[in-house]
Amino acid sequence: MRMIRDTIAAQSTVSGEGGIAIVRISGPDSIRVTKDIFRTASGCDMDPRHLMYGRVVWKEEIIDEVMAVILPGPHTYTKEDMAEIQCHGSQVIVNRILSAVMECGVRMAEPGEFSYRAFINGRIDLAQAEGIMRLIHSSGERSRKSALRQMDGLVSKEIRIVQSMLADLAAGLAAFIDFPDEVDESETAEKISEKCLEIADRLEKECSEKKGRIEDEGVFVALCGKPNAGKSSILNTLIGQERAIVSEIPGTTRDIIRESVLMNGIRFNITDTAGLRDTDNPVEKIGVERAKQAIDTADLRILLVDSSEMPDQTVSEMLQEIRPDLVLISKKDIQDEDGSREIIRMIGDCPHIRISASSGEGIRQFREWLCEKVESDLSREAVFSQTRHIEAAKRAAKHLRNAASSVENEMPLDLVNIDLIAAMEELGQVTGENATEAVIDRVFSTFCVGK
């Protein structure tokens, strides 16, 4: 990242045509530059923090009728002087305004540079900055709420609490090292060991990578089974459109088809896979291999079994190999009674739902099952759900367990202090206190320009 003594600008809204677009400016010259190119309709001067109507004029040419506001720091997003210009949503207009701003000595912002300045200036920490980006990319109500909690400081508060606990431990340890005659060594060592293990347990308990992945990326569901088991029909019914080709001819689906649907604020990524069977067709073989890969990586494996025919040995083999989370007994509207009873016998204790894409019977029950299954994974409010945070928390927990082990092995307590300090530094990686420049750059490089 560049030094933050200069002034930057960028389009903060999505590129392309729209009702309005916003040009954001931040830095010491932002207010001056805005006043240089903006003329209020009334001819009066701009009032700070008042959105004003007027025109952008550059070199005697009117570029657009706009609304503009100047925002003196430090009570701004970046804690610097800022300004925003709301123009009509034509990319041509936005580019002309940015061109005028550049000619006034401003440079284009790099990806995430507005948020980077907010971080450098102490308005947000690194975990909160990541929460902002999660919020922008939130794909459902669950991910929105989770990102908002992170942006509001949920992760940072937990880090500060644990760091405070570690600081108290380190202070007690320092007291013994500095004044050994006044502190009981065995009592101090026992207390430190117990507390280190207690904090390590706390950190590990608050880690849930699966929860974070489900919130940010959604749940990956694989619909699998023999050809013509009804997978494509179920996919089309779930998403409410004819996405997959449905035919009575077995083997119609040759490649995986993935569509997403929101249910109860959770994104479900539903994959329709090629029918599983032995085949000499080279194209279908590729489809079967891709189907197996999708099944292996899925969060939930749904096996469809056709109830309009008697199940064969292949169904039994699929139950053993796939170990589905749920069996959908499909085509209930044309089921064979003997076949249905045999399917029930074969699946044993595995949960099952009788379903028909044609009549819609069982679809609601299937939706409810999916939501309830995922709700159980999301029910616990783990603080650390992003990979970077989880890795730092686990490294900190490892240092604390090393510290407790050193105490139990009667190692010198000044060595224990090294692990305590290392644990605090690992947690500081999460909030950015001890993060390297490379880590900080990597975080902000994922941001869009203008944020």
Euclidean distance between CA atoms 369 and 367, whole angstroms = 5
Give the alpha-carbon dihedral of 416, 421, 422, 424, to 10 degrees: 130
Interval 177-191: pLDDT, tens: 666 555 566 666 778
Is residue 245 over pLDDT 50? Answer: no
Q: Cβ of 184: how many Cβ atoms within 10 Å?
A: 11
Among the residue ranges 5-19, 264-278, 352-366, the one predicted with the least confidence is 264-278
Closest CA to 214 of 273, 149, 300: 300
Interval 332-363: pLDDT, tens: 878 778 878 888 888 888 999 999 888 888 99
| Mean pLDDT of the 269-273 span | 88
Which residue's entry shows tokens 């085949």?
A: 279
Which is higher by pLDDT, 199 or 182?
199
- In this prediction, residue 282 has a pLDDT band, given cuts at 50, 70 and 90, of low
Closest CA to 288 of 173, 296, 448, 450: 296
Among the residue ranges 17-31, 248-262, 364-378, 437-451, the one predicted with the least confidence is 248-262
AA identity, residue 309: E
What local confidence, expressed as pLDDT, does residue 105 receive? 94
Q: What CATH number does the domain located at 214-378 have?
A: 3.40.50.300
- In this prediction, residue 5 has a pLDDT band, given cuts at 50, 70 and 90, of confident
- Per CATH, the homologous superfamily of domain 129-208+385-432 is tRNA modification GTPase MnmE domain 2 (1.20.120.430)
Interval 70-83: pLDDT, tens: 999 999 999 999 99
Interval 393-444: pLDDT, tens: 999 999 999 999 988 888 877 788 899 999 999 999 999 998 888 888 888 8
What local confidence, expressed as pLDDT, does residue 2 receive? 47
| Mean pLDDT of the 237-263 span | 66
Q: Where are the domains of the chain?
A: 8-125, 129-208+385-432, 214-378
What local confidence, expressed as pLDDT, does residue 62 receive? 96
Which residue's entry shows tokens 């003594």?
A: 5
Residues 83 and 33: beta-carbon distance below 8 Å: yes
What's the CATH number of domain 8-125, 3.30.1360.120, 1.10.3720.10, 2.30.29.30, 3.40.50.920?
3.30.1360.120
